[in-house]
Amino acid sequence: MSNSLYLFPAQPHAAPPPRRAVREVLGELGCIAGPLTGGGFAVGQAFLQLVTFAGCSPHLVFTPPAPGSRDFCHLELLGPYRAARMYTGPHTAGPRCPHCNARLRAWQAMQEAWQAGSAWPCPACGQAATVERWRWRRQAAFGRLLIVVRQVFPSEGVPSDRLLTALAEATGTTWDYAWAA
């Protein structure tokens, strides 16, 4: 399982933006190049201006290390899906309540309730909130259409304001981001 940077509309249950509009804006910005065999897109010439990488020495591989390998930095579009999906990683910490800041420890068992549209009650204060309102510290992505930048270590790659603004203008909705597997 690889680490990835997910970009997604901030309202995960709303109708997803048109996939074509998202693909077109990514292409116009130079974030993506041509399609890859097996799906997804190679990074474009402006990718490193649209996704900022931090850290002392980020290691980015932009070509497959072996034929058929997916272990390199590339982009994929997921969806549109009929219902919002949730993406987390194997080390995702429990989110904090948006009302009292208590940590929710057994969140994995509640994913099915979220898929059904139920809010999660806080075991500490009793207040309920939809899963996307819980404080995940950018460790969970939600949506019906998502952009995934594969092979990005958590907190290392961050979308630029220019990229998020262009997506918002092209789709009519605000975008957010998180890191997951």
pLDDT digits over 9-40, tens only? Answer: 999 989 999 999 999 999 999 999 999 988 99
DSSP code of residue 135:
B
Can you read off the two tokens belonging to residue 125?
């204060």
Confidence of residue 112 (pLDDT cuts 50, 70, 90): confident
Distance between CA atoms of residues 153 and 32, nearest Å: 19
What is the value of pTM for the model shown? 0.93
Whether residue 4 contacts residue 149, with contact meaning beta carbons closer than 8 Å, is answered with yes
Between strands 175-180 and 4-9, the pairing is antiparallel
pLDDT digits over 37-65, tens only? Answer: 889 999 999 999 999 998 767 788 999 99
Q: Supply the pLDDT for residue 1.
A: 54
